[in-house]
A and B are shown apart, each in its own frame.
Chain A
Amino acid sequence: EVQLVESGGGLVQPGRSLRLSCTASEVTLRNFAMTWVRQAPGKGLEWVSSISGSVGSTYYADSVKGRFTISRDNSKNTLYLQMNSLRDEDTAIYYCATVSSGSFPYWGQGTLVTVSS
């Protein structure tokens, strides 16, 4: 069974940076496209970013483009989300998930990011 575990969340001041990690077990991440999805408190799901499996092409929501960077370290079987210039509205639970033909079959349990002064 594929297991994804996110880490790196926490309380951060506006304007600061944070890096989230997503570590996988029972699956080799380099073989998969991966994605980050977030959910603000009491709100719906918002797609954040995706990275393709082979070429490593990256895609970003307009709300984070230029501030967030998705990447992967195949040697560590880990997916990352580098978040810079954080804003109050970036406060959310951040989930990583695998991508299969456009759907997201496997999800982690999420890590909470709170942006507040």
Chain B
Amino acid sequence: SYVLTQPPSVSVAPGKTAIITCGGNNVGSKNVHWYQQKSGQAPVLVVYDDAVRPSGIPERFSGSNSGNAATLTISRVEAGDEADYFCQVWDSSSVHTVFGGGTKLTVL
């Protein structure tokens, strides 16, 4: 089955840039979606189709996808960005949805 690999944790100082990776075999050929989940809350879609922001998501959130890795970039990080972030794809070969293991973003 298809596997997405994320680093368990990323730490960044306020105002700096956080980069969260999502690795998978030829993931660049798939559409990658990213979710933010704050403590005790339901996930929120922050980027879909690799790089598209839903309405209401700040421009500070951006995504890219190529080769074997997709990335979620959060610019000018704020304390309120502290959360778990999950990548997700639809694997057409298995007809399954797959989530990465999640990355905990800590704002120092």
Q: What are the residues of chain A within 8 A of B88 when measuring CB–CB?
A: 45, 47, 103-104
Q: What are the residues of chain A within 8 A of B49 when measuring CB–CB?
A: 101, 103
Interface size in chain A (residues, C-beta < 8 A):
21
Main secondary structure of the interface of B (DSSP, over half): strand
Among candidates A44, A47, A103, residue contacting B96 with C-beta atoms closer than 8 Å: A47
Q: How far is the CB of A30 from chain B (nearest CB, A)?
A: 21
Known: A104-B88, A107-B42. A61 touches B101 (CB 8 A): no
Could you mark each residue 40-51 of chain B with 1 if its beta carbon is under 8 Å from any beta carbon of chain A, else 0? 011111001100
Among candidates A61, A100, A102, A110, residue contacting B89 with C-beta atoms closer than 8 Å: A102
Interface contact A102-B42, CB-CB below 8 Å? no
Q: Judge whether B95 is part of the interface by a CB distance below 8 angstroms.
A: yes
Interface contact A103-B42, CB-CB below 8 Å? no
Q: What are the residues of chain A within 8 A of B89 when measuring CB–CB?
A: 102
Could you mark each residue 76-93 of chain B with 1 if its beta carbon is under 8 Å from any beta carbon of chain A, else 0? 000000001010111000
Interface contact A44-B102, CB-CB below 8 Å? yes
The 10 closest A-B pairs by CB, nearest first: A47-B97, A103-B33, A103-B48, A102-B90, A44-B102, A107-B42, A45-B99, A105-B45, A44-B101, A45-B86
B interface, CB within 8 angstroms of A: 1, 31, 33, 35, 37, 41-45, 48-49, 54, 84, 86, 88-90, 95-102
